Amino acid sequence: KAKQLIDRLEAQHSLSIEEYEYLIENQSDELAAYAAEKAVALRKQVYGTDVYIRGLIEIGNICRNDCYYCGIRRSNPACDRYRLTEAQILDCAREGYTLGFRTFVMQGGEDSAFSVDVVCHLVRQIKAEFPDCAVTLSLGEFPREAYQAMFDAGADRYLLRHETADKAHYEKLHPAQMSFDNRMRCLRDLKDIGYQTGCGFMVGSPYQTAQTLAEDLKFIEEFRPEMCGIGPFIPQKDTPFRDFPAGTCEQTVYLLSLLRLIQPNLLLPATTALGTIRPDGRERGLQAGANVVMPNLSPLGVRKKYALYDGKLCTGEEAAQCIGCLSRRVASVGCRIVTARGDIIR
């Protein structure tokens, strides 16, 4: 029955929540291999063997939010805070451009110093210096007008993981001041404004169930994002969730395959978190249907400070070393890194 559901998902790109739940509960090595084979075939139809790279610039770890899972949450006094200057961010982009990056992702905590005006100025600078590059923002929740201003300044894409599509689950992962409805409002606004929009969730987050995961898959099927970031939850030692187990590589790659079957042209990263829980995690992600990798371009001195979870990969490596290592890893699974903006193919 499970294989029949995979066949139907491949053909129709849609299942009921109950059917998604069945697929999640009945995961096996054999079923995952079956789904991965179909997922990779679909990826090839749309993207060939191309893998897109995104230069990740972690612009700061100061955050007003207090997500229970996250190492840069407000009430973590052990977090060594930093904020990059505009000049530092531009230098990261320059180095990245030389290395072949044509997308820059600026990610950070929700820091009021990165106001709408500051972000807009930064986006304009980058777009002026690198008109052939895409700018992706991942700076959390803002009012619609702020997203609009950043878009008008030239931002092309926005990543905002929905974290979970189940409201009760969302409330177990976040303190009462944070709102599921506002997060969903943000995602709708982003899409409506015209951003290439990315949602996503952690695999194996505390209190996650087959039911909540099925809701995530249904949400993604209906929302139709351009990008979807999923990676394992990894505990961080200074957070309330320090004692919860990490998500698994097996479940993450299985879900990557299901997402590819749901939406064949989805931009789907093999995340750093996946490479952190398993040395060949990102290769396995690509072999399951992912088509994006996001190496770190942040200055070496701050990489360890952007500690969302323990054991993060590549915190000591130059960007150039990272890209060399990744190119080999990507080639080892029959794909190749390309120098391109890497927009979604419709």
Instruction: Give contact residues for ligand SAM (rule: CB under 6 A).
Output: 69-70, 72, 107, 109-110, 138-140, 160-161, 163, 202, 231, 233-234, 236, 273, 308-309
Task: Please report how close the Cβ of residue 139 comes to ligand SAM at its closest, in angstroms.
Answer: 6
Task: Please report how close the Cβ of residue 243 comes to ligand SAM at its closest, in angstroms.
Answer: 12
Q: Which is nearer to ligand SAM, 47 or 309 (CB)?
A: 309
Q: Which is nearer to ligand SAM, 61 or 257 (CB)?
A: 61
Q: Which is nearer to ligand SAM, 37 or 66 (CB)?
A: 66
Q: What is the CA 172 to chain-centroid distance, rounded? A: 21
Task: Please report how close the Cβ of residue 238 comes to ligand SAM at its closest, in angstroms.
Answer: 11
Task: Please report how close the Cβ of residue 142 comes to ligand SAM at its closest, in angstroms.
Answer: 11
Instruction: Give the Cα separation of 69 and 114 in Å (integer).
Output: 23
- Identify the DSSP state of 83: B
- DSSP lists the bridge partners of residue 108 as 60
Contact (CB, 8 A) for 211 and 166: yes
Q: Which is nearer to ligand SAM, 37 or 238 (CB)?
A: 238
Task: Please report how close the Cβ of residue 327 comes to ligand SAM at its closest, in angstroms.
Answer: 25
Task: Please report how close the Cβ of residue 91 comes to ligand SAM at its closest, in angstroms.
Answer: 21
Task: Please report how close the Cβ of residue 24 comes to ligand SAM at its closest, in angstroms.
Answer: 19
Buried-state track 39-52, b at ≥16 Cβ within 10 A, e below 16: bbebbbebbeebbb
Q: Which is nearer to ligand SAM, 236 or 287 (CB)?
A: 236
Q: Which is nearer to ligand SAM, 94 or 161 (CB)?
A: 161
Contacts of 309 (CB under 8 A, 6+ apart): 71, 233, 234, 235, 236, 273, 276
CA distances to 76, 229, 314 from 271, in Å:
24, 7, 12
Instruction: Give the Cα separation of 294 and 284 in Å (integer).
Output: 15
Q: Which is nearer to ligand SAM, 130 or 158 (CB)?
A: 158
Q: Which is nearer to ligand SAM, 233 or 254 (CB)?
A: 233
Instruction: Give the Cα separation of 282 and 36 in Å (integer).
Output: 14
Indicate the burial class of 346 (C-beta count within 10 angstroms; 0-12, 13-18, 19 or more).
exposed
Task: Please report how close the Cβ of residue 313 comes to ligand SAM at its closest, in angstroms.
Answer: 12
Q: Which is nearer to ligand SAM, 40 or 56 (CB)?
A: 56
Task: Please report how close the Cβ of residue 221 comes to ligand SAM at its closest, in angstroms.
Answer: 20
String of DSSP letters for 263-327: -TT-B-B--HHHHHHSTTHHHHHHHTT--EE--B-S-HHHHTT--SSTT-TTTTS-HHHHHHHHH
Contact (CB, 8 A) for 139 and 157: no
Residue among 207, 233, 244, 228 nearest 311 (CA): 233
Residue 183's CB: how many other CB atoms inside 10 A?
A: 20
